[in-house]
Chain A
Amino acid sequence: MSIAAAASVAPALAPVDTRMASLRAIYIIWYRDILRYWRDRWRLVASLAQPLLFLVVFGAGLSSSLGRGTVFGTAGGFSYIQFMYPGIIGMAILFTAIFGAMSIVWDREFGFLKEVLVAPIDRSAVAIGKALGGTTQAMIQGLILLVLAPFVGVKLSFLTIVELIPLAALLAFGLSSFGVALASTMKSLQGFQVVMNFLMMPMFFLSGALFPLTNLPGWMTWLTRLDPASYGIDPLRRVVLSDSGRSSALVERFALTINGQVLPIPLEAGIVLAFGAVMLGIAVVMFQRRD
């Protein structure tokens, strides 16, 4: 059998525009994640239960002891539960984004990832599609919690919500990309528990979701400033609390500072975006490696 004869077997297949193919692949990978998210109503309900639990039990429990004489008790300031509320939105985004993106590990375990990896597409589409899928789920999850605002005495105007959407999206994107990068290095479900205990929980605790990141011991100040979630949760809080009509000085008392300087929100947003971009880049490189 000559090579020429073999080559003639291949009929002229219409060349596929690779950029369009990648966009299609990103879309359908994203769409599948959203479809699964909506189909799994119980997960949706369950994932709201945890933030609610934090808000109600933690918030109510600590509010009474964190009253007068503390940073929360100052006249005209905010109660602990008001302080905590944007942090809980951040928490919902953090957990949903990382879990959503790390569903890649499940896909690998249950075989579906193979179907995607053997497709004639650029594998960067897998990383991007998954990151966007996680971003969307996390955003929905975070924004659903906005309906609780009246119960914690936080007033939200339409403009505030418009402002919150891109901020939530950025945080969701940064953390989803982080999740995809993590998942790309994990070959089995075993690593999952490790990530959960040694990355997600510390990231949550150090992010300023539960307490102001001011006047902390030196080592902890460092860690909180290294936590990417800090830079995503701080703007959420400042936007939510600013809407209460109280002075910006009161709001900024809780704000994230570096060397005593309050960071402007656009800078924080830029840090989260850059973090997400770097993580996504790592994920793309990891996915493009071939055995």
Chain B
Amino acid sequence: MNGSSEAVIQASGLVKRYGQVEAVRGIDLEVRHGEIFGFLGPNGAGKSTTISILCTLLTPSAGTAKVAGIDVVQDPARVRQRIGLVFQDPSLDDVLTGRENLEFHAWIYSVPASERGKRIDEMLALLQLTDRAGSQVRTYSGGMKRRLEIARGMLHQPEILFLDEPTLGLDPQTRQSIWTHLNELRDRKGITIFMTTHYMDEAEFCDRIAIIDRGKIVALGTPDELKAMVGGDVVTITSSKSDDAAAEIEKLLGVTAIRDNGSLRMEVPDAKVFVPRLVRELTAPVDTVTLRRPSLDDVFLKLTGHAIRDEEAGTKDQMRAMASRWMGRRR
């Protein structure tokens, strides 16, 4: 961030209804110039609907939104001229080459003829696609396609780049490289980036995050601010007598321990002080102690009472099991 606090996206009271269902239930947010703003939430939380409203692809049922100072309902065409879009699903023509896809975009976005070639070369170089620019897109890997879409989204020099789940379905290494590119774009081009994700670890790369659940923003702030909302540190112990241990922790230390996959998990203000006391005062055997800074997963869990659902079936079931355990203990 370059210290600027001008809002380039402002939304207030956004609502989107589909019949009886409210997909978005009153969203207010402000995105500042030059920041990477993450919209974090599980699938079906209303992320894509909100981003679609901001991109003028959907009209809100209620509320207003301004992007680059322009009302999205009143003047969608002008908004579109100033934003770049990278969709969740691929939207490239894979019979055309990478360069031809960019040329197509330059034409329909009225990039001046004198600038076309120059800008295409620049974006290809920036996203490291120059040597494959002449190949048909169908020969590209998933990561290359995504990079090409980012290059395309930047071609008409937008003020804001919107990305809907830009790293979905990519392997960790490729996701990392997409992030490197996004940061570089922000630094070199001074644009604002608005993205949605359901990967918690990715949200940490954002300057600010809004956590959305069931159509509403439940928290908004920097990753550190959000993590500070969780008691402090997360301490996990395993014990051969975990029931006794849990009872003792509750009684002697005044902390609620949550059963989590055979271990006990607790949030404490300061682990440095807590762990020595724990070990000293507990009569039940303690086999292992781990402590870590809270992650956004912990934040999400704390705020919504359920774990973020992941795409992968295995993880999903695991998460669901974890969530039900968590909630079972809570009540």
Q: Tell me if B81 and A28 are in contact (CB < 8 A).
A: no
Q: Is there contact, CB below 8 Å, between B108 and A24?
A: yes
- When C-beta atoms are compared, the residue in chain A nearest to B56 turns out to be A118
In the assembled complex, B57 has its CB within 8 A of some CB on chain A: yes
Shortest distance in angstroms between A116's beta carbon and chain B's nearest beta carbon? 7
Residue of A20, A29, A115 near B110 (CB, 8 A) is A20
Contact A25/B107 with A9-B68, A118-B85, A120-B80 known, Cβ cut-off 8 Å: yes
Q: Tell me the complex Cα distance, A113–B56, Å.
A: 16
User: In the docked arrangement, what's the CA distance between A15 and B58, Å?
Assistant: 24
Question: Is there an interface contact between A114 and B91, defined as CB atoms closer than 8 Å?
Answer: yes
Q: B69 touching A115 by the CB < 8 A rule? A: no
In angstroms, Cα B30 to Cα A1, docked, is 9
Number of interface residues of B (CB under 8 A): 41
B107 lies within 8 A of A9 (CB): no
Chain A positions within 8 Å of B33 at CB level: 9
Complex Cα gap A14–B208 (Å): 32
A291 vs B17: C-alpha distance when bound (angstroms): 12
Q: A1-B6, A13-B81 are contacts. A121–B108 as well, Cβ < 8 Å?
A: yes
Q: Is the CB of A118 within 8 A of B109?
A: no
A-contacting 9-mer, from B39-47, B92-100, B287-295? B92-100
Task: Considering the complex, give the chain B residue whose CB is closest to the CB of A28.
Answer: B107
- A6-B10 contact given A112-B92, A120-B78, CB 8 Å threshold: yes
**What size tier do the contact residues of chain A reach?**
35 or more
Q: Please, which residue of chain B has its CB at the minimum distance from the CB of A36?
A: B95
User: Is A118 within 8 A of B58, CB to CB?
Assistant: no
- Knowing A10-B82, A111-B92 touch, does A119 contact B87 (C-beta < 8 A)? no
Asked whether, in the complex, the Cβ of A24 is within 8 Å of the Cβ of B6, the reply is no
Q: Are B109 and A119 in contact (CB under 8 A)?
A: yes
- B contact residues vs A (CB 8 Å cutoff): 5-8, 10, 30, 33, 55-59, 66, 68-70, 77-78, 80-82, 85, 87, 89-96, 100, 103-105, 107-110, 152, 159
Task: List, sorted by A's number, 25 A–B pairs whose CB atoms are closer than 8 Å.
Answer: A1-B5, A1-B10, A3-B66, A6-B8, A7-B69, A9-B159, A10-B69, A10-B70, A10-B159, A28-B103, A28-B104, A32-B104, A35-B95, A35-B96, A40-B95, A111-B87, A112-B91, A113-B91, A118-B56, A118-B57, A119-B80, A119-B105, A120-B80, A121-B108, A290-B59
